[in-house]
Structures are given as C-alpha cells and as structure tokens.
Amino acid sequence: MKKSGLVFVLTTLVLICITPALAGTIVEQWGLVQPPAPVELKNVSVNATDTAFLVLDIEELTCNMQARPRCVESAPRIGAFLAKARAAGMPVVHSLTSRGTIESILPPAKPLPGEPVVQSFVDKFFNTELEDILKKLGVNTVIITGTTAEGAVLHTATGASMRGLSVIVPVDGMSAGTLYAEQYTAWHLLNAPGTRARTSLTTLEMIDIAP
C-alpha cells in the first residue's frame, strides 16, 4: 500500500473513533465537559493617577444573603480596598442596577460626596457617562469589582477592554449566585477575544497602588 493510501486509511479510522465524541450539541455532550485548569492570578501595580476603581452594583437588590451570599461576604473586602484607593487619591466610580438607588448601596461600598454613580443594566458604559468620566480623569486602567460576575463585571470589563483600557479584575472582589458563574467569568476574561489581551486577574491584596 502506498504511503498516501495508508495515511488516508489511518485518518479515516481516527475520524471513526472520535466521531461519537464530536457528534451532537453541547447540551448532549454536557456531561463530557471537563473544567479548564485554574486561571493564573498575578501581582499588579497601578498608578493612582491613571487608574479608576469601579464598584459595581453592591446594593441590597443584588447583594443579599438570599440571592448572593458570596457578594455580602465580599463587601467588606471591597470596602477595605475602597478606603485604600481613596487614601491614594485614586478615582472611584460606582454603579447601580436599573432599579437601584444610592440609598440601597451597602455600607462598605457607599459613595462619598462627589464620587460619580452611573446607572445601567449589565454594561455600565451603555447609555451612561462612564466613558466620558474616565476620559476626563485621564484613566487608562480600571480595577473592576462587584456583582454579578457574569453580568456587570464581565460586560463592563468587556466594554472597557473594547475601549482600549487595561482591565484588572480581583477575583475576590467579584461574586455571583453560583461558583460556576464566577469560574466561567474568570475563564472568559482571560480567554475570550474581546478581553484576553487587556485583562489581568488578581486579588485585592495583590494590587499595589503607587501614588
């Protein structure tokens, strides 16, 4: 048998063997999916003058023990970093859901007078002044925290990346109703075309702020 014929036969046999695994929709193959390796967390250093800290939707409607206890648990950590950012002179921007109010923001994340608050659905750039706010502040990097991971964090991070901003997401500062949603969001941010080139994952304690 000629070499080309042998290659054809072997290729055909391989395809026959793997076809059952390739057939069907993702729903039909759901149980065969293996989780990816854990994402890499990095130490990051930012300048307070060109970085903004975004605190997204830490309000009673979205951050409560019934729907998202992990959000409630993350709020003090976000609050501690918020104090650190303010002390360094870093700009802070808050967001609300479409039904939220400033009064409903949890105490650790309460805005100070003069700190901007935008209100939108999951993408906080959509129909808000967020892009203009960041441009006027001379910001080229955003640190994004909040809830939900698969909602406001993911979509605002994507919006920031698509606008040329560097994106830092502390995984202990984002939360969701399920662990899978947090895991998926972390994977997506480092692997999807819209975010992977500009996104770093870290923790709040791994962020160093230079004046």
Domains along the sequence of the chain with CATH: 3-32 (no CATH), 44-210 (3.40.50.850)
Enter the tokens of residue 32. Answer: 């065969």
Query: How does strand 141-147 pair with strand 174-175?
Result: parallel
20, amino acid identity: P
The whole-model pTM stands at 0.89
Q: Is the peptide bond before 62 cis (omega within 30 degrees of 0)?
A: no
Please report the pLDDT score of residue 192 as a whole number. 98
Specify the pLDDT at position 60: 98
Quote the CA–CA distance of 106 and 84 in Å, as a whole number.
Answer: 18
pLDDT attached to residue 2: 54
For the chain, list residues with pLDDT below 50. Answer: 15
Give residue 22's pLDDT: 62
Cα–Cα distance between 147 and 149 in angstroms, integer?
5
- Residue 92 host element (H or E): strand 92-96
Find the distance separating the first CA and the last CA of the chain, reported in whole Å.
73
The confidence score (pLDDT) of residue 17 equals 54
Question: For all residues of the chain together, what is the average pLDDT?
Answer: 93
Q: Answer for the pair 172, 204: CB distance below 8 angstroms, yes or no.
A: yes
Which DSSP letter does residue 139 get? -
Amino acid (1-letter code) at residue 163: R
CB neighbourhood size of 179 (10 A)? 11
Confidence at residue 6, expressed as pLDDT on a 0 to 100 scale: 55
Render pLDDT for 135-153 as a digit per residue (tens, 0 to 9): 999 999 999 999 999 999 9
Q: How many helices (H) and strands (E) does the chain have?
A: 5, 9
